[in-house]
Structures are given as structure tokens and as C-alpha cells.
Amino acid sequence: MPETMRRQFLREKEAAQLLDEFSQKLKIDIESLLDIKKPRMEVAETSTAKVYYVNGEPVIAEMKQNLIPTLLFDKALSRLPKITVNMGAVPHICNGADVLAPGIVKIDGMFAANDYTLVIDERHQKPLAVALALVDSQVASSLSRGKVAKNLHYVGDALWNQLKKA
């Protein structure tokens, strides 16, 4: 039986604090991306995460005290540095595996350790996962083995499936 998500509106002050914290973590001005002066924000708690909706769109997920962009928030995803993986890595990434150096084809943009990155496939350039960088982009491009990024939210995870059903 699918889990129903009950939404509650956030107060303006709570919404502003959340957007400010999220903007700092992503190093992007989220309010300008949303192009809204006073966004109407709702929160829905699920068994896997708290999902924050801005004007009905699932924008932010809070998982294990991490605020991350959902894979449906295209405006923020387009601004993240990208790690392109080969097609052999795609099924592993979509099963929750971390990003390993041998699977990386290309790195676009600069990132530091603990920054968010977007993992995309090499053939279609489609978003596969939001990951947390374990090393900076210069180190990542020189590695031949080892973990480069921790997979936080990926296509096919519980959050993805709940957002697609909602």
C-alpha cells in the first residue's frame, strides 16, 4: 500500500531560514532560481525523508540532516558541478552505489570535498544521482581508483519512487 504524504504549510520565517540554509549549502541563490519573492512552502514527512515543496514542486529533501535538491528540481541541478559516468556504472549508481573513480568519464565544473555534485550518464546526459563529493574535483580527475562521491539520492530510490507517485 503506497504511503500517503500529508503536506503542511511552513511559516514564512521557517521557509526563509530553510531556503537560506539550502542556498548556502548549494552555493546558489535559490530564491532567484525559483523567481518568486514569497514562495509558498509545504513540507511532507515520509518514512525516508522530509520533502519540501515550493508552489507544489518537490524542491528539497531532508535526509539524515542533509538538505539536498531532489532529482526533480532541474533548475538547481543544472547549476551543480557534474560527474559523467560510463554506461557500465549506471546500473550500480541507480542501485545506490557510490561513485568510483574508474567509472568516471568526465568532470564538469569545480567542486570541493563535501560539495554536492550531479551524477549523469555519458550517453543521454540524464541525471542519475545527487552525490556528496568526498574529494575535490582536481583530486577526483587524477584518481584511478577509490571513491570520489557518496550517493545520496538516486533514480529508483525510495524518495524518487514516492515523488513520482505523488
Q: Mean pLDDT across the chain, nearest whole number?
A: 91
Same domain, 12 and 37: yes
Q: Spell out the residues 6+ positions from residue 36 whose beta carbon is closer than 8 angstroms to its own.
A: 54, 55
Same domain, 16 and 39: yes
Answer yes or no: is 29 within a domain.
Answer: yes
The least confident of 22-36, 45-59, 93-107, 152-166 is 22-36
Sign of the dihedral defined by the CA atoms of residues 72, 88, 112, 157, in that order? positive
What was the pLDDT predicted at 110?
Answer: 96
d(CA 87, CA 67): 28
Output 28-33 pairs: Cβ under 8 A, ≥24 positions apart.
28/76, 28/79, 30/76, 33/75, 33/76, 33/79
Same domain, 80 and 140: yes
Confidence of residue 106 (pLDDT cuts 50, 70, 90): very high
What was the pLDDT predicted at 1?
Answer: 34
Same domain, 54 and 91: no
Answer yes or no: is 125 within a domain.
Answer: yes
Is residue 8 within 8 Å of residue 42, measured between CB atoms?
A: yes
Count the Cβ atoms, other than its own, within 10 Å of residue 28: 17
| 28/53: higher pLDDT | 53
Q: Which domain holds residue 64?
A: 7-74
Total residue count of the chain as it appears in this document: 166
Stated pTM of the model: 0.92
What was the pLDDT predicted at 3?
Answer: 53
